[in-house]
Amino acid sequence: MKILSIQSSVAYGYVGNSAATFPLQRLGHEVWPVLTVHFSNHTGYGEWRGIVIDPAVVADVIEGINDRGVLGQADAILTGYQGSPGVAEVVLATVARIKALNPRAVYCCDPVLGDVGRGFFVAPGIPELMRELVVPHADIVTPNAFELAYLAGLPSTTDDAYVPAPFRDAASVLAAIDAVRAAGPTTVLVTSVTHDELGANEIAMIACDPTGAYEVRTPELPLSVNGAGDVTSALFLAHLAAAGIESALARVASSVFAILSLTLAAGSREIKLIQAADQIAEPACEFTVTRLREA
């Protein structure tokens, strides 16, 4: 595939395009990274240097790609964190433009908004923009459980911040997925899923498309790092196109678990992406994928 990836970039570490590009290339795909920011490091450190790239410059870079006469060759558009309405406008305009040139192209959106225990970590107005405008134009969305609850319109348990109730079981996750799919996307992958049917120290990913719904469970590792979600979205996009949703789920779970295991063993704050190159290229698929329902 040829993938136009509109995301952030860091010089040190692995988030955004700095996390997504290498795994896609390792799997043999061509990536056209378009940067929305270029920072020294990810913002989880609390300090960073660099620039937020003006949306007009982002659009100009994409126009330059079009000047080469290749924009219509893109098979997929991949996006992650969208920090401003201006970037979202550029993304949506680009998606529409590429699909007009290549109707088979797909848009994979990682709707980066927040997480359990942290709440929203994006600017005010971005969650609504993502839910009401961006996600309905996506073919594939890859939220975590917190983001899924918000995108599905599940109510908050508090008045002063968005805190969704925990998912009770896989069926409640599927109900939320159905609500998101009803808005436009055909395929949803939910990461960092916890529910009462899981075993001790287990975490799950659940994926659904017109062929059915599937769950894969892995051990929950005791670490919190940045960039794993960006890798997950990129790998899912790549494997979904190559092998279908069930195989994609197995491959993504295996590769991401390997990356996180290496990261934990190294005691590293940055994911061990390069060290996991072989596990990215040839995932062991050691975790069982369970079919939860038919289409």
215-241 pLDDT per residue, tens: 999 999 999 999 999 999 999 999 999
Q: How far apart are CA 29 and CA 44, in angstroms?
A: 29
Residue 10, pLDDT score: 97
pLDDT at 83 over 90: no
Categorise residue 60: left if φ over 0, alpha if ψ from -120 to 50, beta otherwise. Answer: alpha
Q: Could you give the domains of the chain?
A: 2-294 (3.40.1190.20)
What average pLDDT is seen over the chain? 96
Q: How far apart are CA 240 and CA 238, in angstroms?
A: 6
Residue 295, pLDDT score: 75
Q: How far apart are CA 91 and CA 96, in angstroms?
A: 9
CA-closest candidate to residue 98, choices 76, 122, 118, 120: 76
What pLDDT band is residue 254 in, cutting at 50, 70 and 90? very high
CB atoms closer than 10 angstroms to residue 138: 27
pLDDT at 42 over 80: yes
Residue 144, pLDDT score: 97
